[in-house]
């Protein structure tokens, strides 16, 4: 993948990843009093993950934790 801006506009570091949203199923268990609580395990649905986008631009992050949006350059580096 390649973006129009591959480096952080704040510090100049290279992009280290895309910010993603994930879906999954969090296990819950009855607490014995008619309520439920989290059971401590979530089955993450990896095939449902999506890159966070805004107006067609991907949300990117550098190693220092800075985030910025940049448009992906289609057809470059796609295998």
In the chain, where the domains are located: 15-71
- pTM value is 0.78
Q: Given a cut of 60, is residue 78 above it in pLDDT?
A: no
Q: Given a cut of 60, is residue 52 above it in pLDDT?
A: yes
Give the pLDDT confidence score for residue 36 in this predicted structure: 97
Cβ(6)–Cβ(39) under 8 Å? no
- 60 beta partners: 18, 68
Give dist(CA 52, CA 70) in Å, integer: 11
DSSP character for 55?
T
Q: Which residue from 52, 54, 25 is spatially nearest to 38, judged by alpha carbons?
A: 25
């Amino acid at each position: 993948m390649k973006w129009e801006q591959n480096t952080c506009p704040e510090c100049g570091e290279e992009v280290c990843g895309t910010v993603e949203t994930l879906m999954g199923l969090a296990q819950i268990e009855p607490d014995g009093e008619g309520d439920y609580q989290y059971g401590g395990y979530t089955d993450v649905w990896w095939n449902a993950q999506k890159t966070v986008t805004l107006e067609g631009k991907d949300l990117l992050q550098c190693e220092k934790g800075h985030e910025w949006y940049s448009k992906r350059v289609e057809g470059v580096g796609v295998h």
